Structure formats: structure tokens, C-alpha cells
Amino acid sequence: MVELEGYTVVPLRTSPDAKHCHSVYMREHFIRLMDPNKPKGRTLFLLNVPPYVTEESLRTVFSQMGTIEVVEFAAKPGKDETLKWYEGTTEPFSTTRPPFRFKVAYVVFQKSSSIAKALALKSIDLFNSSGECIIKTGMELWHDQYENNYLLDAQKTKALIRKYMAGYDKRERAAAEAAKTSEADADGWVTVGKDGRNAGFEQKESVVGRLENKMARDKKTKELTNFYTFQIRESKMQNIVEMRKKFEEDKRKIELLKQSRRFKPF
């Protein structure tokens, strides 16, 4: 068993007679600020997981060590990396898939005893008893993807949509209901919605921007510009500064072009 920097290094075999295998680096997950989703003492951290390894396959391998709560991936160790990895993939009818590259994995066991058992593994074997790889690749994966993820069954999809929309409508209604009740909370804050008597303006960038612009415009109309001599002088000065700047810019541009030897016609 190879140890490196506190990690247990085990080969990841895709077939019983695999010679050149990837090395997976395992250790118990431990950092100062623990993520509640990756509880201390029960989470196994795997480094250098090849791109084709799936959650299910890791689950299959590690379920021998004890019941598994969850298997999650991330591009690299760090806060919120797992969230980023799965961003946009969990919603229904989304076509986004998690990236296909080398990653890290977190395996959360139910019992902390499973960790030690897992760390004692000789190798991670991604094949079943008959020596077949449990990861779908090549033609098999392609076929599977096409049949199950690409093609949809119209009737089933319709039912799914109906169910989802019903849930959505319910949520919407609840939210609308909540918006109408304008009661102050414990700190004395009231949530103001678009509707109702005390409706606030929509907090959109465009709306806010428009208001701010209007304020600036109002202010401008009240001010006199280019009226007093000092203002004129200043604006003139500004003018000169600007022109100088532009000239310098042009010169720089030429300098740049000169460097790339663009002035030799032949």
C-alpha cells in the first residue's frame, strides 16, 4: 500500500487484468470549516477520479464498506465546488450535463467505521464478478444516452410536465399569497411586493438605472455649465487633455503596429 502526503494511493482498475491504471488518492475528508453536507468522520475524500467514473459506480464499489448516504463530485477541493459542478444539471428538462474531466469525489458513509475499511482497500475495482466493467462507455453508453436521455416518450413527458406544472402553480400561489400579507417581521421590516397598496418599484437594474439617470439629469438641468469663466477654462483644459490623450493613443497604436513590422510592404 502506497502512502503519499497522508493519502492512501490505490489503483483504479477497469478490468481484472488492467496493467496501466489511474491512481486514486484517498483520505478521510477533514478541513477546518466543515461543510454540513460532508460531515466530519464519515466522509471519504477521493482525489484524481477519472472523468468516466460515475456516482453509481463509486457507490457500487464502496457500498461493500457500509451503507452510503451520498456520493458527490467536484472539479477540485474547495467550498461550493460541488455546487458549481452540479449547477444547472438538476433542473428537469435541462440539457446541461456535469463536465467530463478529472475530478474529486466525496463519499459520505452512514457510519464512521466504514472509512477505515474503505482506506484499507487494495484497489478500486470497477468491474463485476465476471470481469465486466461496470461503467458504461463506448457504444453502450452512447446507445444508452440516446435512448434514455435524448429521445423522450411523448406521453410520459406530458404526464411529467403536468405534474411539474401543478407543483409550480402551487408554489406560485403560495408566494403570491405571502406577498400580499404585508406584516412587519420581528425586526420591524415589511416585505414589499409588486402588488398591493404599498407596491415598491421593481428592483431591476434597468429600473434602478433609469431612476438614477433621471436624478442625474434633474441635477444637471439645475446646474450651469460652461457659463462661468473658470468653467469654460476648465472645459477647454479638459479638451486639450483629451486631445493629447487621443494623440498619445494613436501614437501608441502605431508603435504597436510597428513592433509587429506591419510597415514593410514587400
Partner 1 sequence: MLKVKRNPGKAPRTAKSKPKSARSDSVLDLNSAGEDHSDHEQPTASSDDGFEEPTLSKKTPLPAATNISNPAKKNKFRQNDPSKNVKPPTLEEMKELRDTRNLFHSNLFKLQVKEMLEELQLKSKYTDFIESWLESFTAFTRQLKDGLMERSELEVPLSLPQKASGFIFSKPTREPFLIGAASTGTLLGPKIVVDVALEMPKENLHKEDYLNLRYDQKRALYLTYVTERMRESSEYSQDRFAFNYHANNPLKPVLELTPVAKQVTKHLQIRLFITAPLSSFKPGRFVPWNNNIRPAFYGDEWDEGEEPLPSTQHYNANVLFDLTLAENQAHLDKAFKGRRNFQDGLLLLKVWLRQRELDVGYSGFGSHILAAFIVYLSQQRILHQSSSSYQVARTVWNQLANTDWTSGGISLAPASVQKEDASKKSASFYDVCFMDITGQYNLCSNLPLSLYQRVRAEAKLAVDLLNDMKLNSFPHIFMQKCPLYSRVDNILKITNYSCINQMLMLHSQPRFKYDYAKYGHPQLFQLLTELLQKGLGERVQAILPLETATTAWSVDDKAPVIGKHIQLGLILNPEHAYEVLNKGPAANEDPEGAAEFRRFWGDKSNLRRFQDGSITEAVVWGTAQDSPSKKRLIVRQIVLHLLEHHLQVEGKDVQYIAAELDQVYQLSPWYKIKKLKTKLPLVQDTDAEAVSPHVIRCYDELARQLHGLDDLPLDIVSISGISPVFRYCEPEPVLPQARLVDGRILASHVQRVVIQLGQSGKWPNELAALRALKMAFLIEIGEKLEAQCLLKWAITAKGLLVLKQGFCFLIELAHSKELALLKQEVTEKGVTTYVDNPASRHLERQQYILPKVTGSLHSLHQTHSAFGPTVLLAKRWLATQLLDDGLWPAMATELLVAHLFQQRHAPQAIVAPQTGFIRFLQLLAHSDWNGDLFLLNFNNSWQEQQIADLEHSYRSDRQSYPPLVVATSYDQQHVGRLWTSDEAPSQRVLGHVTRLARHALEIVETSLMSKDLRFVRPAQLFRASNEGYDLVIQLKPDLVRNSLCYDLGSPFVSFGQPNFELPRAGAENRVADIVNQLRSAYSDFAAFFYNPHGGKELAIVWRPPTEFAPKPFKVTEMQGCTPCGNGKVQVLKETLLEDFKLLLKDFYLRISTPEELKREQREHQQPRRYFNHPESSGAPPNKRKVQSESDDAKLEKPVKKKKQLIRNSSVRKTSS
Residues of span 165-184 touching partner 1 by CB under 8 A: 165, 168, 172, 175-176, 179, 184
Count interface residues toward partner 1 (CB under 8 A): 106
Site for partner 1 contains 202 (CB under 8 A): yes
Please report, in angstroms and rounded to a whole number, the separation of the first and last CA atoms in the chain: 66
Characterize the bridge pairing of strands 7-13 and 43-49: unpaired
DSSP label at residue 44 = E
Q: 129 to 168, contacts with partner 1 by CB under 8 A?
A: 133, 135, 137-140, 142, 146, 149-154, 157-158, 160-161, 164-165, 168
CA dihedral 83, 89, 57, 125 (to 10 degrees): -60
CB proximity list for 178: less than 8 A, separation 6 or greater: 191
Among 30, 200, 213, 217, binds partner 1 (CB under 8 A): 200
Q: 8 to 47, contacts with partner 1 by CB under 8 A?
A: 9, 14, 18-23, 25, 47
**69 vs 140 by CB, closer to partner 1:** 140
Q: Which three cell numbers stand for residue 101?
A: 474531466
Q: How far is the CB of 139 from partner 1 (least distance, A)?
A: 4
Q: 246 to 265, contacts with partner 1 by CB under 8 A?
A: 246-247, 249-251, 253-254, 256-258, 260, 262-265
Q: How far is the CB of 99 from partner 1 (least distance, A)?
A: 6
Site for partner 1 contains 194 (CB under 8 A): yes
Distances (CA, A) of 137 to 49, 52, 142, 149, 150: 16, 8, 7, 15, 16
Site for partner 1 contains 192 (CB under 8 A): yes
Site for partner 1 contains 92 (CB under 8 A): yes
Specify the stretch interacting with partner 1 by CB under 8 A; choose among 35-43, 54-62, 63-71, 203-211: 203-211
202 closest CA partner among 215, 212, 192? 192
Q: 103 to 132, contacts with partner 1 by CB under 8 A?
A: none
Specify the stretch interacting with partner 1 by CB under 8 A; choose among 55-63, 64-72, 84-92, 110-118: 84-92
**122 vs 230 by CB, closer to partner 1:** 230
Site for partner 1 contains 229 (CB under 8 A): yes
Cα separation of 65 and 117, whole Å?
6
CB proximity list for 81: less than 8 A, separation 6 or greater: 74, 75, 104
Among 16, 51, 131, 196, binds partner 1 (CB under 8 A): 51
Amino acid at 49: V
Distances (CA, A) of 37 to 100, 109, 202: 23, 11, 35
Rg for the chain, CA atoms, rounded: 31
